[in-house]
Amino acid sequence: MSFDLLVKNGIVVLTDEVRKADIGIRKGKIAAIGEGLSEPDEKVIDAAGKTIFPGMIDIHVHFDEPGRTFWEGFETGSSMLAAGGCTTYFDMPLNGIPSTVNKQAFTEKVSIAEKESHVDFGLWGGLVPGNLADLEDLNTCGAVGFKAFLSPSGNPEFEAVDDRSLLAGMKKIAALGGILALHSESAPIVTFLQQEKEAQGLTDFDAYAASRPPLAEAEAVSRALMFAELTGCRLHFVHISTIEAVNLIQNAKKNGQDVTLETCAHYLLYNHDDFRRLGVVGKCAPPLRSESERVGLVDKLIHDEVDMVTSDHSPCEWKDKETDSVFTAWGGISGGQFTLQSVVEVALKHHLPLTRVAAWTAGHPAKRFGLSPEKGEIRQGADADLAILDLHKPEKVTKEHLFQKNKFSLYVGHTFPASVAATISRGHLVYSEGKVNQAAKGQWLRHHTDRALSARH
């Protein structure tokens, strides 16, 4: 059998086992998996001593293009993800100008990403007050789903939904067979508490965290689940940060609701004390939680009560972070390069099978969002999307190795127990030896979305 590329001697993380094998790739697909596969030397990558995961699927990033490319664009953002072993991502709708809340904005963003992205991508559409009539067009255009905020987004161009807009949107999305992703913090609680803290002259790290307590997340999740039960809308909760919210969502699952949740790498590795130590690079919403919440969230992940792990890469320029008040600093973690390494760190620390890492970072996202069977696992016939990691070569994160546009991150100074050696997207080497292949081009995954919607209907 002839291959376009052969990855030899690696430890391969399959769906239900980890074993040494060669991977033969032809026309962007995995053509064979086995031992002793052969091919001319110029088409071989020797992965001896390294571990091969399915390419990560990060369903939650913000690349801010068009309009805010000075924060992050598709070229720099996809380079960053490729350097972290990610081969597919979904871009959120809110931080571009215009936000992706109608057909025109969606098609403009697709055309930009098709030119600039180095790995495969999908796009979320937005649900905001007043765009109910646009949801069907966004769905037809190929949106992977819809994103809404239950609390202020921090972006005046992307308003949070009120209860009426949320109910109407859920009903429409359910009729379309779509899925709604929710930023779930209670608007009344967080706005009231912030105003209270500011009136008292309290604007530091502790005040910010206290203004967005775990109760705010639990209230919003509970209300959204009730609305979804009423309307029949499928839900995905983004960046869940608390034990109570996980429990609420799991109870809804047991009662038959179609719902999933993600947490983010920073909630698994960092806590509120780290926020105080590291400063505004650690500001996000929901905020980094107490150590007991962090430990409990890791435990929920270990017990398969968290479906997937994402980055919520939400960048900005440093001037947007360096403000007089923590409340006015941009709230986003910039660090999409390190999600897969973060999950590997958790797995190694807790002696978990590497198959769990593959499920949380690739398998579960692929199944939930209609990318299976082509993506999400290392399998004959699947896309040749591979992340080759060296589990014996730690990496200390430095600013010099950040591929994102603005070179600051919560992760700078952190040492991961494993490093990314190479990333392969649909059979093309997109990252290797610290460099991104600028000729690599990603594909828009609209056909996957269309098929998933047809299957649901």
Give per-residue pLDDT as tens, 4-54. 999 999 999 999 999 999 999 999 999 999 999 987 777 999 999 999 999
d(CA 208, CA 216): 13
Q: State pLDDT tens for residues 327-382.
A: 999 999 999 999 999 999 999 999 999 999 999 999 999 999 999 999 999 999 99
Q: What's the confidence (pLDDT) of residue 453?
A: 64
DSSP letter at 288? Answer: P
Q: At what angle do helices 214-231 and 163-176 cross, to 10 degrees?
A: 50
The DSSP H or E segment spanning 180 is strand 179-183
Question: Residue 214: CB partners within 8 Å, gap ≥ 6?
Answer: 241, 242, 243, 244, 245, 289, 293
**Residue 116 structure tokens:** 């600039």
Q: Which residue bears the tokens 């970072």? A: 361
% of the chain exceeding 90 in pLDDT: 95
**Residue matched to tokens 């080759």:** 388
Contact assessment for residue 169 and residue 135, using Cβ atoms and an 8 Å cutoff: yes
**DSSP assignment string, 203-236:** -SHHHHHHHS-HHHHHHHHHHHHHHHHHHT-EEE
To the nearest 10°, the Cα dihedral for 132, 137, 143, 146? 0
Q: How far is CA 337 from the centre of its chain?
A: 11
Sheet holding 308-310, edge to edge: 125-126, 146-149, 179-183, 234-237, 259-264, 308-310
Structure confidence by residue, pLDDT tens digits, 416-436? 999 999 999 999 999 998 999
Q: Which domains does the chain have, with CATH numbers?
A: 5-52+384-436 (2.30.40.10), 56-371 (3.20.20.140)
